[in-house]
Amino acid sequence: MRTIIAAALIIGFVQVQSANAAETATCASVSEEQVAKLFDHWNASLATLNPEEVAKNYSEDSVLLATLANKPRLTQEERIDYFKHFLEKGPKGHIDSRTIKTGCNWAVDAGTYTFTMKDGSKVPARYTYTYEFKGGNWLITSHHSSMMPEK
């Protein structure tokens, strides 16, 4: 019986040690304002009209569920292909409403935005960006955007 109790205490100690190790992991601090600027940076990259520049905002394993596409874009090549065609429309995004949540090396920015295209048309949509601090940079790990269902 004492062996079982001792083993349980040792296992408990290891679990506490593991939990404390996770808590002491280095976390990149980020404010809501800084997360908002990540969208501004992404939006500015659209203005370059260079799909490779836009794709640099995304991690290699990011998932893009784009507003004007029917299939997920799972590779940089697929994201570049999507943005090549999207940028032809001359989009400029504007945040209409947002909620930002942050944690240890992650952030989520979700809300609504409107794209104004170079022809003057507007595309109101819902969005969610998830970010992760990787290799010293905040990168988009998933981006979901869908047109508003109601006019």
Q: Give tens-digit pLDDT for 80-89.
A: 999 999 999 9
Q: What is the chain's mean pLDDT, rounded?
A: 88
Higher-confidence residue: 31 or 21?
Answer: 31
What is the SS3 string spanning the chain? CHHHHHHHHHHHHHHHHHHHHHHCCCCCCCCHHHHHHHHHHHHHHHHCCCHHHHHCCEEEEEEEECCCCCCCECCHHHHHHHHHHHHCCCCEEEEEEEEEEEECCEEEEEEEEEEECCCCCEEEEEEEEEEEEECCEEEEEEEEEEECCCC
Question: pLDDT tens across 53-92, in order?
Answer: 999 999 999 999 999 899 999 999 999 999 999 999 999 9
- In the predicted structure, residue 11 carries a pLDDT above the cut 80: no
**pLDDT for res 85:** 95
Asked whether residue 3 carries a pLDDT value surpassing 60, the answer given is no
Identify the structural domains of the chain with CATH numbers, from first to last.
Answer: 28-147 (3.10.450.50)
Rounded to two decimals, the pTM is 0.81
